[in-house]
Chain A
């Protein structure tokens, strides 16, 4: 099993969700996060006083899937979250040792 973590632009969530559903993903976890990469930040100006914020709001999506599905999931996120502009985000893929569905006790891929 693989854990796919993607940091994306918040307004891209619906498109990413659709693409993932099409790719066969059953569930996902979404968190509002802040951070920075090459985009660095934004500048806000209040009555002439400038404030640069170095953290940009993003969404973090976590999807656990069967190992052979992972390339397809990565590809779906990469295609659907892409705007071509700076700050589109990143995708990380990690190995997952175990999965358990709490309600039934099913384990690993049947638990996804």
Chain B
């Protein structure tokens, strides 16, 4: 996101919130502020109810509440950790390539008059708004990771995992990508709204966590099917609407760049929703509702890094390509490799994020309708993107191993087989989703 500033030739120092107040006091525009506050609550809508219903509908009826509760609870935990040590680690007052230091721990020194810079010189938004906006990203990313481990992980293990994972995986990667002193930012990696930070990070972590946790009882021989595609459909719609806050909000202002991110979030997603169904048809199946929903999510994921970094037609192609590749990832690759990524967090967020991150280097080119400068070179940018993606994969994988084993040491990680058979709703929370 902040990388966009460098691409426009805006001084990177100004893009860093820590330095925002230093030069002649920047103006806070009420329109920008209103849009950023709106975007922030739109992203919150993606978590509860969006992701909770999307994921919940995909689980079995006996695990519906468990899935929703895990998502809501880790989001709450992320919000509290964010104001304690998350914000300062990602966007604090200096630091190195990997973290920003602890000078703003517990939001030290921040007042209603503090500002955070945007991508335009002299334009700022209130720092509290920036903190809240970024807070929702941390909250949804840890919630996304849970998609691979639902239906078998203890609630206590989920909470321990979330606290450790956010600290050692999410905050450093958010810093690396978005803060002006971050490693990927300095490399020149493009990531408009978090393709690397949110989706590749969450997807890879999901895969690693599910491998450590093991398969659900009965997978893949028993019939484990979504209990309510209706709710998954509702969740899909809420995610798509919320994603406008995610993507168009990442412009940090209510301007043309936000408008570009907005149109791309429409058309890339539309293209991806249809192309998943087309891929099903080509493979001899019927175009399915779940396929439609999956395509929508794949398109949203793929357009995230490209939202303000692509022209609308580049976004359409990106959505279509990501959708088809994600279809093969979940329907061919997953059964072949045999891992139990329960709700396809890796197959859609991980794979879709990687396609989006690498594809951004292509669709950014002005010759393809992107917003890059005339001298933009696709080849070099692809190398930069691949380096950022590869580093994220390694970082997320190692961090997830540590976080998962920490959770295992403290809680035992996995529920007892009887609880798993009976369902985590009753076993972990003492209630059921549906009483007929």
A residues near B (Cβ < 8 Å) are 44-49, 51, 53
Which of chain A's residues has its CB closest to B330's CB? A47
- When the two chains form the complex, which single residue of B225, B291, B330, B335 contacts A44, counting CB atoms closer than 8 Å? B225
- Complex contact B290–A47 (CB within 8 A): yes
List, in ascending order, chain A residues with CB within 8 A of B332's CB. Answer: 48
15 contacts between A and B (CB under 8 A): A44-B225, A45-B286, A45-B288, A46-B225, A46-B226, A46-B288, A46-B290, A47-B294, A47-B331, A47-B344, A48-B283, A48-B327, A48-B330, A49-B220, A51-B225
- 5 tightest A-B CB contacts, nearest first: A48-B331, A47-B330, A51-B223, A45-B285, A46-B225
Collect the chain B residues with CB atoms within 8 Å of residue A51's CB: 223, 225
B223-253 interface with A by 8 A CB criterion: 223, 225-226
How far is B288's CA from A48's CA once the two chains are assembled, in angstroms?
10
Return chain A residues, CB-CB under 8 Å to B226: 46
Chain B contacts for A47, CB-based, 8 A:
290-291, 294, 330-331, 344
Cβ of B40 to closest chain A Cβ, rounded Å: 32
Closest to A45 in B: B285
Beyond A45-B285, A46-B226, A53-B223, 11 additional contacts (C-beta under 8 Å) are A45-B286, A46-B225, A46-B290, A47-B291, A47-B294, A47-B330, A48-B327, A48-B330, A48-B335, A49-B220, A51-B225
The number of residues on chain B lying at the interface, defined by a beta carbon within 8 Å of a beta carbon of chain A, is 17
Q: State A78–B290 Cα separation when bound (angstroms).
A: 38
Q: Shortest distance in angstroms between A94's beta carbon and chain B's nearest beta carbon? A: 31
Main secondary structure of the interface of A (DSSP, over half): strand
Taking CB as reference atom, which chain A residue is nearest B283? A48
Over the window 272-304 of chain B, the binary record of Cβ atoms lying under 8 Å from chain A Cβ atoms (1 yes, 0 no) is 000000000001011010110010000000000
In the complex, what's the smallest C-beta–C-beta distance from A47 to chain B, in angstroms?
A: 5
Q: Please indicate which of the listed interface residues A44, A48, A49, A51 has the most CB atoms of chain B within 10 Å of its own CB.
A: A48
Closest to A51 in B: B223
Q: How far is the CB of A45 from chain B (nearest CB, A)?
A: 5
Roughly how many angstroms separate A45 CA and B330 CA in the complex, as a whole number? 12
Bound CA span A53–B224, Å: 12
* Chain A, Cβ-Cβ closest to B294: A47
On chain A, the residues within 8 Å of B285 by CB distance are 45, 48
Look across to chain B and name the residue whose beta carbon is closest to the beta carbon of A53.
B223
A44 to B290, CA, bound (A): 12
Chain B residues numbered 334-392 whose CB sits less than 8 Å from any CB in chain A: 335, 344
Contacts of A44 in B (CB 8 A): 225
Residue of B nearest to A52 (CB): B223
Q: What's the minimum C-beta distance from A63 to chain B, rounded to whole angstroms?
A: 28
When distances are taken between beta carbons in the complex, the residues of chain A under 8 Å from B288 are 45-46
Q: Measured between alpha carbons, how far is A51 from B344 in the docked complex, in Å?
A: 17
Measured in the bound complex, the distance between the Cα atoms of B290 and A47 in whole Å is 7
Q: Which residues of A contact B225 (CB under 8 A)?
A: 44, 46, 51
Inter-chain contacts of A48 with B (CB < 8 A): 283, 285, 327, 330-332, 335
Contact code string B146-183 (vs A, CB < 8 Å = 1, else 0): 00000000000000000000000000000000000000
Give Cα distance in the complex from A47 to B223, angstroms: 14
A53 to B294, CA, bound (A): 23
Chain B min CB distance to A51 (Å): 5
Cβ-closest chain B residue relative to A44? B225
Contacts of B335 in A (CB 8 A): 48-49
Minimum distance in angstroms from A34 CB to a CB of chain B: 13
A47 vs B232: C-alpha distance when bound (angstroms): 13
A57–chain B nearest beta-carbon distance, Å: 15
Name, among A45, A46, A47, A49, the residue most crowded by chain B CB atoms within 10 Å (CB to CB): A47
Q: Which residues on the B side are within 8 Å of A45 (C-beta)?
A: 285-286, 288
How far is B290's CA from A48's CA once the two chains are assembled, in angstroms?
A: 10
Most chain A beta-carbon contacts within 10 A, residue among B283, B331, B332? B331
